[in-house]
Amino acid sequence: MNSFSVLADPVRRRMVELLAEEEAPAGRVGAVIMREFGIGQPAVSNQLRVLRDADVVTAERQGSQRIYRLVPGALDDLTGWVDRYTRMWSQRLDALETELVRDRSQRNPGARRPEAR
């Protein structure tokens, strides 16, 4: 399963958000997910297993707990894709702003240019 499929599910996306903040025992992740999504412990366990199977998170036994943490670089394919489109849209929006300013100044030669952001 790729990063896009893994994060398509809102429960798994929230789990990743939680684990991006800090590693956590399954019980703590489960408590938040059960409260926010109204699902039971078996469904939480299933979603954590999906994240493990996709190599997005790892689980390490510490005593009677499983401590979950994100795998460094596990979402690099997703972040690379987002970065590529972010740059593209940023360039296109900058070009649009230039055209709008040019059009505005042609329609109203005395108008002031907008302040730089």
Structural contact between residues 38 and 46, judged by C-beta atoms closer than 8 angstroms: no
- For residue 106, what pLDDT is reported? 87
Q: Three-state DSSP class for 50?
A: helix
* Prediction pTM value: 0.70
Residue with tokens 């896009």: 4
**Other beta carbons within 10 Å of 76:** 10
Give the model's pLDDT for residue 75: 86
pLDDT at position 88 is 74
Domain 3-70, CATH: 1.10.10.10
- Joined tokens for residue 6: 């893994």
Give CA–CA dist 35/32, Å, rounded: 5
The pLDDT value recorded for residue 94 is 81
Domain ranges of the chain: 3-70, 75-117
pLDDT the model gives residue 113: 58
Instruction: Determine the residue type at 2.
Output: N
d(CA 109, CA 37): 56
Low-confidence ranges of the chain (pLDDT < 70): 110-117
